[in-house]
Structure 1
């Protein structure tokens, strides 16, 4: 008769641990004194359109949609590319010459754009399996209901399917590590099938 209680206690402890990780990540990475200028960002972001598409709506499955993304998340990712905490051959040199003001302006511009999702043609069973797995691993504890994100936690609803798959795989393999270990912990027990189901579910959210 003790097993259900133990499972309940373990679930509570796990939820508390996730909250602490998310909260610690936010507290550690909040930029101070940020002043963003969306109009200035529009001019500075023109070069980004070559890969990320007009107004940040990428149609390339390997390149993330930036439109509607949280400004603080975008700012911090640009900063990580610039400072070497995250590495990507096209992005690292693009970010290397950006000032803090440039990054804030660009982030604010893309955050103000309307996301135009590119839907992956997933079957209903895969989407439902992804929904169950998302609930199991407590995704919304950080990414919020609807996967709209918050502050430096990204919006992932409607993101490119293939990009989601790649990032989850990279977190699992520790190829991507600029998240204070939170996503590595979440993904470590995910199978490739789990990851594809999660990507199908998240991509098809509004």
Structure 2
């Protein structure tokens, strides 16, 4: 009899398909389907608006899971919830693969050096790199947040802290609950500067 942890790992391994590269025709078709996303997230996922996240270079599995959470009501947003409402599983996977394949561009943000250093210390203290990895590059379902708009990062951390966002299995809400407003400000400068 298989141990429960082995069974769980096997179930997770087969829950999502391995990331197959979209071929050129699939990439072109997905780009057309993704055009409505560009209004907020920018061309090819490089948002120019600090209220919206950069999707270019994000882990495809994270994009898929967030779209699925919007689609199924585990995450709510006045703009995203309706956009994700009618997406199929294949659409969500293809959007994840499309945006993860795009090259992220640097943001135009002037970081405050003192806040960057203070944010680095907060990051080390609350062990952010344990999940987001060194350099905040993300992995699988854990998002890449390096180079993300600080304004967006601040809002997400504040939403986790206030439990307005809870689609994280408690991981981020637990960490964010320990952060002061100054910690959140400093972390946003640190992450945006990476």
TM-score between both structures, scaled by the size of structure 2? 0.88
Residue among 83, 87, 97 paired with 1:94: 83
Q: Is 1:80 aligned to residue 80 of structure 2?
A: no
Residue among 10, 17, 38 paired with 1:33: 17
Residue among 152, 170, 175 paired with 1:181: 170
Runs of 4+ in 1 over 2 A off after TM superposition: 27-38
Residue among 97, 115, 120 paired with 1:108: 97
Q: Residues 81 and 102 (structure 1 numbering): CA distance in 2 closer, same or farther, change over 3 Å?
A: same
Residues 91-170 of structure 1: pairs in structure 2 closer than 5 A: 91-170=80-159
Partner deviation per Cα, 1:150-174 (whole Å, 9 max, x = no partner): 0000000000110000000000000
Rounded to whole Å, the distance in 1 between the matches of 2:18 and 2:67 is 14
Q: Deviation of residue 32 (structure 1)?
A: 2.5
Residue among 29, 35, 58 paired with 1:69: 58
Structure 2 match to 1:15: none
Q: Residues 30 and 143 (structure 1 numbering): CA distance in 2 closer, same or farther, change over 3 Å?
A: farther
Unaligned runs of 5+ in 2: 1-7
Q: Is the 8 A contact 1:35 1:101 kept in 2?
A: no
Rounded to whole Å, the distance in 2 between the matches of 1:183 and 1:55 is 27
Rounded to whole Å, the distance in 2 between the matches of 1:124 and 1:183 is 25
TM-score between both structures, scaled by the size of structure 1? 0.83
Tell me the SS of whatever aligns to 2:15: coil
Q: Residues 155 and 122 (structure 1 numbering): CA distance in 2 closer, same or farther, change over 3 Å?
A: same
Rounded to whole Å, the distance in 1 between the matches of 2:71 and 2:91 is 12
Q: Deviation of residue 34 (structure 1)?
A: 5.9
Q: Is the 8 A contact 1:51 1:58 kept in 2?
A: yes
Unaligned runs of 5+ in 1: 1-23
